[in-house]
Structures are given as structure tokens and as C-alpha cells.
Amino acid sequence: MEKLLGKHWHHLPADEVLDLLESNRDRGLDLFEIEERRQRFGDNVITTQKGKGPLLRFLLQFHQPLIYILLAAALITALLQEWVDSGVIFGVVLVNAMIGFLQESKAVKAIEALARTMVTEATVMRSGEKKRIPSTEVLPGDIVLLQSGDKVPADLRLISARDLQIDESALTGESIPVQKDIQPLAHDTVLADRKNMAYGSSLVTYGQAAGVVVSIGDHTEVGRISELISTTTELETPLLRKIAEFSRVLLAVILALAAVTFGMGLLRGQSAFDMFMAAVALAVGAIPEGLPAALTITLAIGVARMARRRAIIRKLPAVETLGSTTVICSDKTGTLTENQMTVQGIVAGGESFDVTGAGYAPIGDILPRGGQAGTSLGPALLETLRCGLLCNDSLIVEKEGRLTVQGDPTEGALIASAAKGRLVLEQESRQWVRLDTIPFESQHQYMATLHAPSAGGSPVVYAKGSMEAMLERCTTTLDPRGNAVELEVASIHATADEMAGRGLRVLGFARKTLGEARQKIAHEDVSSGMTFLGLQGMIDPPRVEAIEAVKNCHGAGIHVKMITGDHALTASTIARQIGLHHAERVITGRELAKMSDSELIDTVEDVSVFARVAPEQKLRLVEALQARGNIVAMTGDGVNDAPALKRADIGMAMGITGTDVAKEASDMVLTDDNFATIEAAVEEGRGTFDNLTKFIVWTLPTNIGEGLVLLAAVFAGVTLPILPVQILWINMTTAVLLGLMLVFEPKEPGIMDRPPRDPKEPILTRMLIRRLLIVGFLLLFGAFGLFEWELRSGAGAAEARTVAVNVFVMAELFYLFNCRSLTKSVFEVGFFSNPSVFGGALVMTLLQLLFTYVPAMNTAFQSAPIGLASWVRILAVGSLVMVVVGIEKWFVRKRALTNLQRA
């Protein structure tokens, strides 16, 4: 029997399935068979994969080149008995490790959340008796009885069904409950269209059924998704890849320069101890100690900014990844659309009407197609609206500040359209008292209600259902004035086809006046003689803000693709309405299944709409896009989205409709389920990366300058212009008080008008490297030059070193204003737009005065007071740095403008 667990059960007749599973539809499994199968198949649970333990996950946070460099710096400073500096550096490393560990621990819960979705109770037939058992005890061959409100305990092949509807949205992405039956289906029927199957963790919303269990635990569709999650490779973010590469290069350069310094000193006959100290000073100077702290704080501030825009970041590096995104793969329902069915077109009395407004709110108008709003609605239109309102078992209620439907979303749309026609449910219900109901049944395809007019008169039956079901019961229709006229079936079919071509789900409406007073109705009462009232066409409409957001994404060079479990025609219609590129071309899950990986990679960038896709196909689409070098953001809310969310460079789960599984597998959660929030988050991500780049461009010239100064001293055979303890003072204080102020820099204008960064482009471009070298050499000439100037002017080594230290600090302070924009003048971005910069500069200046003039600081850092003339020369060097970089940026802008004009 184990070999049968992977069969295409939907392709087989129900009786054959029962025979293969050796089960009986009336008795179910017998006692001895239950025990034997429990031994053979085990419990109906999803196996959780054994992952890394907490200790190993914590230790792995230190497994990064930049962290190795910092640990070495902490060790060396400890050997030099600089305990405060050693403690600060080690504290930075520890904080970073703890943040990374806590973020990663949340992701480990994904599969545990998935397993929880399967735990419930089930009603089964065993030995001819109904029994209520934990879902974990369900076995292959069990006969499971389902009714409204039940969670399906395992994968079932339905053997009987009465008006069964199941919400499979978490598994397939289908936006409305699926009508089920028991008829065999084609072998290649995709998961979302298997109407004779009920899958584990889906929810029964209506009707009753019985099914035989065909798969349990890891063999269910949810189990397969669990395996996909556990085996899906989670990619390192672009930022982490670039920082790791940068760290490896930096480590090699530092070690090489330290070795050269030590070797050159020995060749010149200097003592090994002095040269070791010089090599240590160079290594400490070249290490950007503030970079990990700046990275963490920059990303954390990005997280706070995104939270204010309704995007909750679960993993810090995801902030930057958003700024690198080249493709956004979005679900349709609830993200690009309202997730509220809305009537958009009505045909009544031979006239067509457009309905404005979206969602369940009674805000909007009913307008003649191509015309203006009228003062009153015709009798035929009013009757069509009244029929949809009264022949209805649902309600629209406010929940957590949001209108939702209690019942069928389709009926919610009819209530809203009636409200736009100024019909009030309470008032209409009093005027037309409901007496009886024929509930919707799949074999009849309609619902009917019997009403008695409160003013007296003959009772009326209102009915709604499929257009075909309504037409076959009708002999007349209404003209615009409400008079009965001959029914033209062909014309109505043509109108319905046109509405369906717009992606609308079309329902028909009819009424019948009964001759005598009645309290009950039966199917025979509505089998003929009815009057056709009209059609209402509805769709889950696109969000207005999503249309603008998609336009902005296209303007920012980001491709938007819709990946949905919904039907191809509906998907294409919504794609056109929101402005997706190539919206007319749709690839379905069935077509995807026939494509090889290479074919998919060649095709995926030219198609924007994918419909009826299975979970592993979503994963394939993400992998195909990544194979083309894209940075992929993926949205999702269902269990079926979790593997693709994990594989994507950034996975985005829905906060309102999202399952726990999707949230745990994601990097980010959208609290309002809105695509516009993604665009806002991308904007914040770009701003965050800009600010991080600004910090790196600001901090590295200091490290380069310090290294060059020490190398120059060794090569020249003179005393060191700055000592290791002074280098640590410069690096740590300026990083915190000056560099970190760039983190608060507001986003520059036009940030969403430029294309995404090339994923292969390094953090430091050729232009930025040139700027680093310019500033680094200016620091070399300024600090080394003034150090020698002071010595030749009769100052002692302590005073000369104090001047050199102040040159570095003041030059960094002036250069900070250059770095507020990498391409524009500080006056273009707003000189006073970042008050934090001025606060940091003021505190840094006060600290340097303490460093220079307070005796305790002079003792701790081997500094000494200096005169006014020295300060003038120091400020002159700082001003020179600012002017030179400003001129370099002007030349870069001028050359870029010239190239643009030539192009």
C-alpha cells in the first residue's frame, strides 16, 4: 500500500480508490486493520527537520571576516593593556552576534508553525460507527466525515459530497471557496482544479461530504510544502555578500601592510619591538571598528522607518535587500486587489451600467455606460439590485476598523451594489418579509427566497444563480420601465460573454409572483414561468494605491510580476487594470509543468502574469528569475507560498490574511497587506543603503590616511606621528559622534527615479574609490606634514602628535558634510536638513578640546596642549579636504551631464 501513497487519486473513480485502499465506504476501517496500519504508516504528523542547535547558531554569528578582524583588534588592544578600547570593540562584536542570533531564531519556527496547522480533530467511520479522534490518529483508508467549519485532517479523495465548498486559499491561492464534487478528473489536472479532492489544513465553509484518506503526514500536499521549506536554500542577502567580500579584501590588505611595515623597519635596522608596535598601530588604524555598529544601527533605523510605513522587518539585512530589488513577484488577492468582491457591471432592462467604488463600503454610483449619473434608477435596475439584496444569507460587518463579509464574498458584493442604488437592507427586509428559502445546491446552481410584501399582496420569489440556471426558468424579462417583454436569450448570452471577457464573475437574477399566499416553496415552484431581471458582474478589484505603486516601481526600473492561484482570465484582467507589462500574455501552471528549467529561464523575464500555479512552481519561478541575475522580492500569504518566500532574496508575508507559516518563512511582514507598502519599503531600503554607503565612504579615508601616515613614518625612519591608543580614540569617537549621524540623513529627492543597483556592482564604485584615495592622501599630507612642521618649530613629540590627531578629527568633521550626498553639493540636499550632524560635530569638537587640554586626558592618550596657530593650520587642512571633494563632485556631475547629452 505504501506504493499507492503517491498516486493521482483525482484521476480515479471513487469506488476504485476505496478498493485500492482496502476500505469500505459504510464501515470504514476495522479494529485490527487500524492497529496494523498505525504500525505501518505512523501518526498523521509532519516531521520537523533537525536543525542547528542554539549554541551552534550563536557561534556561527562570529563566522564572518569582518568579525575576525575586530576580534583580532580586541585581542591586540588587550595585550597592549588598553582595556577600555578592547572592551568597546568586543562589546560591538557581541551586540552584533546577539542581534543576528535573535533574528535567526525566529526563522527556525517556520516548519513548527506548519506542523501546527495540521493538528485538529476529525470525525471518522470505524467499524461502522462514527468516532471523533485527534487528527494525528487518522490513517490511510479512514473514511472522514466533513461538515461546515471542519478543518480537513489529511488529504482525502471525496466519495460523496452535498453542496461542499472548501476554502483552499492558504494552499492554492484561490480567492473564493471552491465548489467540490466527486467526479474523476484528467490526469494532468493542476492542484487548484482538483475538485474531487480535499487537502489537509484547508477549511470547509459550506456543505457536507465524506472522503477516504489517501495521504497523511509528510505525504500530504502540506507535508510536501514542509519538505520544500526545509530543503530550500536561503540565499545570503546582497549586502552580506558584499560586506563579506569587502571584509576579505580588507583583511588581506591589513595583514599585507602590517607585514611590509614590520619587514621594512627591520631592514632599516630598527628594533623588532618598535616595529611590532608600528605594525599593530597600522593594523588598528586600518580596521574600521565602527563599521559593524554602523551597519547594525543603520539597518535598525531602516527597520523603524519601515515600521512607520506598515512594513515589519524580521531580518535586519532585508532592509538593504529591498533597495537592491529588481523584480517583485506579487500575489494577486488582497495585495494587488482589495480582497473584497465588488460589482462593477450591471445589465437590467436591456441597459448596461457601470458601478463605481471598490470593496464592501457603500460608496459609489451606478452610472449608465458612457453616460452621467441619473437622478433616479429605473424599475428593472432596482428590481435586479433588490433581488441580490434579499436573496442573500450574508452580512457586511465592521471588524477591527475594516468592513468584512460574514458569509459568501459574492453575496457581500451584492449587498454593497444594492447600497449604491440607495437600497437599505433593514428597510427592504421589513417591506419584503422572508418566509422560506431554497438554499444553493451545486446540482441546481441557484438559490431562491420567498417574500411576503408587508403592504399586502401576492408573495414573490427572488432567485439568483448561474446565468444558465436562471435563463432556463424564465419566459419573460423586463424593459427599462419595468414592463414584461419577450426574453431574448441570445442577446443575454452575448452580454454575459462580454462581461466575462472583462474578467467579471457573472450572476443572473429572476423573480416570480405567486398567485396564492404561501409559506413554503419548492424547486417545482421556480422551475418555470419566472421573469429574468438582469445580470451583475463582479470581480475582486485592484487597489487604487496599487496602480500608482506599480507605476512607481516601473519608473524605478523594478519589474512587477503577478503569481496567483486564480484563473488566467481574471489574472490577466487585473494585470491590465494595474498596468503590468505584457499583461495580455499569461502562463498557467499546466504550461509551466511542461517547461524545462532552461525554457523557463529564457521565458520568465518576458511574462508578467502566472496563473493557477502550484507551490513548487512558485519556487521554480523565483529560482528562474534569480538565475537571470535578479534580486527577487516575493509576496505571499498562504502555506503554499512559504518555500518561495524562503528562497526569494526577500520574502514578504501578509500581516492580515497571512498564515503563521508564511510569516515565519518571510523576511518582512506587511501589516496592511498592501502592494503600495512594498513600494514604500523599497524606497526606504534604497535610502538605507545610500546612508550605509555614505558611512563607508566617510570612514574608510580615515583608515587609509592612518595607514599611510604610519607607513610613511616607517619608510622615512622617523617617530610615529600617531600612537595605537590615539588611533583607537580617533576611530571610535568619530565613528559614533560623526559617522553615525549620516544614518539619520533623509532620503534624497528622486530616489525612486533611478534604476536598481546592479547586484554585481560592489559597494565601492570606481568613482568612490577615487574619492577615498583623494581624501586619504590629503590626510597623509595634512597630518604627516603638520606633525613634521610642529617638530621643526620646536614642539615636543606629544604636541606634534596632538596636532596630527586633531588634523584627522577636523578633516573628518569637514568631510562629513561632503558625504551627506555622494553626488550633490550639501547645499542642494539642504544644509540644515539633518540636525544630528550639527549636534555630533559640536560634541566631537568639545571632546577634542578635552583631549587636548585636560591633564587626565593628556596622561591617558599621551596628548598635550597646543597653541592657536596650530588650530588655524588644522582647520585649514580640514577646509581644504571639504573644498577639494566639493570640486571633485562638481567635475563628476559635469561629466555625467555631458555623457547624458551625448546619449
**Annotated active-site positions, please?**
331
Rounded CA-CA distance 782/809 in Å is: 12
Rounded CA-CA distance 748/825 in Å is: 12
Q: Which of 163, 162, 164, 342 is nearest to 152 (CA)?
A: 164
Q: Determine whether 47 is exposed, middle or buried from the number of CB atoms within 10 Å of its CB (0-12, 13-18, 19+).
A: middle
CA dihedral angle for residue 267, residue 271, residue 274, residue 277, rounded to 10 degrees: 70
Contact predicate 413/341, CB 8 Å: yes
Contact predicate 635/648, CB 8 Å: no
Rounded CA-CA distance 753/171 in Å is: 37
Give residues with Cβ within 8 angstroms of 794, minimum separation 6: none
| Grid cell in block for residue 704 | 587609509
Contact predicate 333/385, CB 8 Å: no
Rounded CA-CA distance 17/26 in Å is: 14
Please name the amino acid found at residue 754: R
| Grid cell in block for residue 80 | 597592549
187 backbone dihedrals φ, ψ, rounded to 5°: -60, -40
Rounded CA-CA distance 839/755 in Å is: 34
| Grid cell in block for residue 542 | 485592484
| Residue 278, Ramachandran bin (φ over 0: left; ψ between -120 and 50: alpha; else beta) | alpha
Residue-level length of the chain: 903
Outline where 489-614 has alpha helix (H).
Answer: 489-501, 544-555, 568-578, 589-594, 597-603
CA dihedral angle for residue 755, residue 759, residue 762, residue 768, rounded to 10 degrees: 0
Q: Which residues make beta-bridge pairs with 343? A: 538
Rounded CA-CA distance 783/789 in Å is: 10
Contact predicate 66/247, CB 8 Å: yes
Residue indicated by cell numbers 525554457: 599
Report helix angle 724-737 to 797-818, nearest 10.
Answer: 30
Q: Which of 785, 841, 819, 847 is nearest to 699 (CA)?
A: 819
Q: Which of 478, 514, 494, 317 is nearest to 386 (CA)?
A: 478
Report helix angle 724-737 to 83-107, nearest 10.
Answer: 50
Q: Which of 37, 617, 631 is nearest to 325 (CA)?
A: 631
Q: Which of 442, 443, 565 is nearest to 165 (CA)?
A: 442
Contact predicate 278/709, CB 8 Å: no
Rounded CA-CA distance 29/445 in Å is: 35
Q: Which of 703, 705, 708, 877 is nearest to 776 (CA)?
A: 705
Outline where 309-368 has alpha helix (H).
Answer: 318-324
Rounded CA-CA distance 100/237 in Å is: 13
